[in-house]
């Protein structure tokens, strides 16, 4: 197996793993301080214990990727597109070309490279099925609206991605760019679309999107 150090995608995946493990390890003493020193409630302490266990599990799960990023789940997931090493090289080329980037997402000619706290996923543009913005409002005392969290949701053939944007403008910019790259994808949220893309109906919805994409290709 060749060295991964010359591949930009694998280097970024390794950096993601290192940062994530450090964050989880730093979180442990913070969790201990808050839930076991400052809080004296059994339910909250139990919740803190679960958070601590989750942080340890995540750090241990990412440990092999610290040695070689090809041990990471994101790299292994590339096998759905063929030889992972070849796909990783294609992703590196997309990143070097410097396609449109918004909220850390690189939109290349064939692939999207989508980051998260623990992953760096490669997705073929043809696998983008549904995109929409999501706004979550924090309410104080259950009634007073507070902060609003803006997110971009990208549903693909194999996975759903949620990307946090600092502003509505950033989220809209990303969704416009993704829609330009994948104009066949369904855009926007309704309860009917949520039902269509859920459960047993999802396969049928994907078939519809694929048919739309093929029709666009024929029409030129």
Q: In this structure, which CATH number among 2.60.120, 3.30.720, 3.40.1130, 3.30.70 belongs to the domain 123-219?
A: 3.30.720
The residue ranges of every structural domain in the chain are 8-97, 123-219
Q: How far apart are CA 212 and CA 199, in angstroms?
A: 21
Contacts of 170 (CB under 8 A, 6+ apart): 102, 103, 150
Return the biggest CA–CA distance within the chain. 66
Tokens of 125: 């543009």
Torsions phi, psi for 134 (to 5 deg) = -135, 130
H or E segment and range at residue 174:
helix 168-181
**Predicted TM-score (pTM) of this structure:** 0.87
pLDDT per residue rounded down to tens, the chain (220 residues): 568 989 999 999 999 999 999 988 888 887 777 777 776 777 777 777 777 888 888 889 999 999 999 999 999 999 999 999 999 999 999 999 877 788 899 999 999 999 999 999 999 999 999 999 999 887 666 666 667 889 999 999 999 999 998 799 999 999 999 999 999 999 999 999 999 999 889 999 999 999 999 999 998 7
Nearest to 59 by CA among 19, 5, 115, 9: 19
Which residues are bridge partners to 128 per DSSP? 156
Q: How far apart are CA 113 and CA 127, in angstroms?
A: 13
């Amino acid at each position: 197996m060749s060295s991964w150090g010359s591949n930009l995608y694998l280097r970024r995946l390794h950096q993601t793993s290192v940062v994530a493990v450090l964050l989880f390890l730093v979180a442990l003493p913070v969790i201990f301080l808050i839930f076991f020193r400052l809080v004296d409630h059994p339910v909250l302490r139990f919740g803190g214990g679960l958070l601590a266990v989750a942080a340890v599990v995540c750090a241990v799960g990412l440990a092999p990727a610290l040695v070689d990023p090809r041990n990471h789940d994101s790299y292994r997931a590339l096998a759905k597109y063929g030889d992972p090493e070849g796909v990783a090289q294609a992703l590196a080329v997309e990143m070097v070309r410097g396609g449109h980037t918004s909220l850390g997402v690189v939109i290349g000619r064939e692939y999207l490279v989508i980051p998260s706290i623990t992953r760096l996923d490669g997705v073929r543009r043809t696998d983008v099925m549904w995109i929409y913005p999501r706004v979550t409002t924090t309410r104080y005392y259950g009634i007073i609206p507070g902060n609003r969290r803006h997110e971009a949701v990208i549903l693909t053939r194999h996975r759903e991605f949620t990307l946090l944007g600092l502003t509505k403008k950033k989220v809209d910019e990303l969704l416009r760019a993704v829609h330009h790259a994948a104009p066949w994808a369904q855009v926007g949220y309704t309860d009917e679309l949520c039902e269509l893309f859920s459960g047993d109906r999802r396969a049928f919805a994907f078939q519809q999107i694929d048919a739309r994409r093929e029709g666009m290709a024929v029409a030129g």
